[in-house]
Amino acid sequence: MNDDKKKFDPVDKPKHYNVHPSFVECIQITEHMNFCMGNAMKYIWRADEKNGIEDLRKAIWYLNREIERRVTVQVMTLDLKDQLKGSK
């Protein structure tokens, strides 16, 4: 078996997530993020090794979705604060 077969496995250790010069595996970072942020990071991480521009576009899609989620939460929080002020 050659060295690449030992180091990489398409399910447990895909090459495109394990070739970063830091020797950190992508999942070691993304498992500490929410879904959208983790997916964006995953696509950025693998872009040079897998699908290039397509992966970067996917990352942008997830980042935009996360921005929308955060804006919604922020607006809802401000609305709730205003409602609480009005009930005093």
Burial label for 26, CB within 10 Å (0-12, 13-18, 19+), is buried
Residue among 29, 26, 45, 39 at smallest CA distance from 66: 39
User: What is the domain extent for residue 16?
Assistant: 11-86
Query: What is the reported pLDDT for 18?
Result: 76
**pLDDT class for 20, splitting at 50, 70, 90?**
confident
Query: What is the reported pLDDT for 1?
Result: 46
Number of domains composing the chain: 1
Q: Does the residue 2 lie in any domain?
A: no
Least confident range from 6-15, 29-38, 50-59: namely 6-15
Mean pLDDT of 11-30: 81
Q: Does the residue 47 lie in any domain?
A: yes
Q: Does the residue 1 lie in any domain?
A: no
Q: Does the residue 56 lie in any domain?
A: yes
Q: Does the residue 6 lie in any domain?
A: no
In this prediction the pTM is 0.75
